[in-house]
Structure 1
Amino acid sequence: MNLHLISGFLGSGKTTAIQTACKALMEQGLSVGVITNDQGIKLVDTGFFESHSIPNRQVINGCFCCNYNALDKNIQSLIQTNNPEVIFAESVGSCTDIVATVMKPLLQFRKDVTVTVSTFADVRLLQMLFVEKKNLFNKEVQYIYTKQLEEAGVIVVSKIDLVNEETLNSVQRFLQDQYPGRKIIYINGTSDESTTQWLNVITNRTNHFIPSSLDIDYSIYGAGEAMLAWLDAELKIESDINDAQQTAIQLAQLIYNTIQKEGLTIGHLKFLIDNTIKISYTASEDDSALNEIYNSGSSSILINARIQTTPAFLSSLIHEAVQQTEKENNCVIVKEGFASFRPGYPTPTHRITV
């Protein structure tokens, strides 16, 4: 069985590429599975994979490295239930040191799997951070981003369809200069052909190719994670005029606009409406693509926000957006679940450095 670990910063296009890859593999008659991961407990990405009928599990309340036993349990559950030939395990976007804490333990304890590591990076964010040298994140957060690239088995530069040739060339020059000899591929994660290129690369990788473990300062790593506020909310919108789904979309856009107005840097901001419409915003831009909207008297909306701010301030912004939406649309919005917090200090279950 092939197990592909997918790392990369928040909003780097991991989920989209995995979904496209799963679709391509299933069309070839191969069985697949996905394991999602987050510091929270209710994930937009899990609902997204379920909406595409892709077998999935999730590791919650912490990253793969700090919940290795849960990851292993979910791998076994997928094997017993679906017997996948390929599993994609998508780590939370603020996680690094995945080679030492996840890949090498898997290779040591699971002799039945071939393991690869791909690190995704949004081409636009690479341009902003390293070519234009914009200070989007605090230095501790950017430390995590840089360490993810440093340990990559394969660097997957995503969303190349969203930039011009000049931007792509400047990012290519930067990566070739900073990571000489590294396998780097450039993809559009929504394209079957482009994603197949990535699949071909990682499928040909074997357990004989194991990236080096990171030399990493966990005090800086932990501080970087603590600078990001996590917010998960489950809302129910009730409308007497059957426009609840449109109201949910307006709420998502209002939350994004409010965060932008406050000048806060977005890791990722994801919304799943009625388990069918996914809206995503990142530090680099709006990545949303809306499906057809239906008239309905009620609508559900799941929010995953990872923003560089405090949990209290992020919560206040969301509450204010909800109240404004209720007033402007003459609807009722019920909070069925709401949590905002900072990630805990990373404490890996295993760490193999040799």
Structure 2
Amino acid sequence: MNEQLTGKPVRFLMVGGFLGAGKTTTIGKLAAHYVAQGKNVALVTNDQAYNLVDTETLRRQGFHVGEVPGACFCCKFDDLLSTVDSLSEDSVPDLIIAEPVGSCTDLVATVIEPMKSLFGDRFETGPLVVLLKPSHGKKILADGARRGFSPKAEYIFLKQLEEADSIAINKIDRMSEDEQQELLSLTKERFPEKNVFLLSARDGIGFEDLVSAIESDPISRTGMMEMDYEVYAEGEAELGWLNCQVQAATGKDDEKFSLDEVVLAFVRNIGAQLAESGAEVAHLKVLGQTLENSAIANMVSSDGIAELSLPSEINAAAAELLVNARVATAPETLAEIVNSVAEELQSSMQVKFSIGQMQSFRPGKPEPTHRMV
């Protein structure tokens, strides 16, 4: 245990939310806000696999980022603590902001309360703010006919909101005012005791409400949320997980490709093949990077569109792509589609794509290190 963390407790915060809810953008904006106030901020990302786009995205923004791969924070509690220690080797952070896996829930009982109970001298735990993803939130909360996911996957989505101290309806910049008010009403009707507010982390709308929620005191709880870990495990296992590296190159220094067009084409074409198979996208993102520049494209639902969320506006002769896909389909199908898209784009874009390290699987049953009851 790092001796540097035995003085003033470090404030520890988590920003949760379903896959594609905008957690990375939100955490980046929060970190920048506190750095501007002179705070020393460290970030921790979390994923079921390695080669995480979110980690590279935040590091490219200049933040000190640790990563806990291989399972949720709840199942990697000791790894979370050792990662925090490693982030504190040079100087103890004033604030640690953690981004849990988007398919994870029961964070209060398995992460926040154990940190408070077992390591209260080291950490001051803050409230749990959960981002509500509009594209799936409206379908699930309105009990529509086509909800996107099965009831078991929806169980995770709703449990994330149930355990939140505050719920931020994110990405309102993509919604009309009527749509915002409808989703706000649906959320408050389902969770009347919660602090619910509207947010666009990308555009800064509602950011003051987010900071207020982050700096408020956690809800006083008389007990932990009830969880059916069998349903939870089956809901997670319905999602195919894929992380892979792809090398893109023209083979000639004087021949270049648009990095923005490449990452956008990857997301668009993978999304199109998934739609043909009837698979529901939870989150699909591709990061393209050279030594100096990055581009990111993503898609957060099957009826959504591929978006270039971070343009690079450069042409390159070579780049590395990171593909992260979370989709309600078999992982083998995901791997086949990524390979297929690489082949078709190689022909149409005159760029050679070489698939490198790839992980495709279904998450295993969550087995928390600690669970306070």
TM-score calculated relative to the size of structure 2: 0.90
SS at match of 1:42: coil
Q: Pick the aligned partner of 1:273 from 247, 263, 288.
A: 288
User: Secondary structure of 2:72's match?
Assistant: coil
- The answer on 1:223 being equivalent to 2:234 is yes
In structure 1, which of residues 62, 75, 82 is the aligned counterpart of residue 71 of structure 2? 62
TM normalised by structure 1 equals 0.94
CA contact (8 A) 1:277 1:291 kept: yes
Q: Does 1:156 align with 2:174?
A: no
Q: Secondary structure at the match of 1:259?
A: helix
Say if 1:251 and 1:193 are closer, same or farther in 2 by CA, change over 3 A: closer
What letter corresponds to residue 272 of structure 1 in structure 2?
L
Per-residue CA deviation, residues 129-188 of structure 1 (Å, 9 max, x unaligned), is 222613200111011111111111111111111111111111121122111121112111
Counterparts of 2:45 and 2:180, CA distance in 1: 29
Q: 1:299 to 1:259 in 2, by over 3 A?
A: same
Range with greater deviation from structure 2 (135-144 or 277-286): 277-286
Following the alignment from structure 1 to structure 2, what is the Cα–Cα distance between the partners of residues 267 and 312?
17
Q: Which moved more, 1:132-141 or 1:275-284?
A: 275-284
* AA at the equivalent of 1:205: D
4+ aligned runs moved over 3 Å, structure 1 = 208-212, 246-249
Q: Which runs of 5+ in 2 are unaligned?
A: 1-9
In structure 1, distance between residues paired with 2:143 and 2:221: 32
1:263 corresponds in structure 2 to: 278
CA distance in 1, matches of 2:198, 2:97: 19
**Alpha-carbon spacing, 1:243–1:96, altered in 2? closer, same or farther (3 Å):** same
Stretch moving more, 341-350 or 23-32 = 23-32
Contact 1:127 1:167 (8 Å CA) reproduced: no
For residue 128 of structure 1, report the CA deviation from its aligned partner. 2.2
The CA distance in 1 between the partners of 2:279 and 2:189, in whole Å, is 31
The amino acid of 1:267's aligned partner reads A
Matches within 5 A, 1:6-17: 6-17=15-26
Aligned to 1:113: 123
Q: SS of the counterpart of 2:130? A: strand
Which blocks of at least 5 consecutive residues in structure 1 are unaligned?
Answer: none
Instruction: Give the 5 Å matches for 1:102-181.
Output: 102-111=111-120, 112-115=122-125, 116-131=127-142, 133=144, 134-181=146-193
Structure 1 pair 183–77 and aligned structure 2 pair: CA distance change class (3 A):
same
- Between Structure 1 and Structure 2, the one with more helix by share is 1
Give, as a single letter, the amino acid of the residue that structure 2 aligns with 1:276: S
- 1:39 corresponds to: 48
Spell out the pairing of 1:93-108 with structure 2 (5 A cutoff): 93-108=102-117
For residue 23 of structure 2, what is the amino acid of its counterpart? Answer: K
Q: 1:120, 1:157 within 8 Å by CA — same for their partners in 2? A: yes
Once the two structures are TM-superposed, the CA of residue 281 in structure 1 deviates from its matched residue by 1.0
1:348 aligns with 2:368: yes
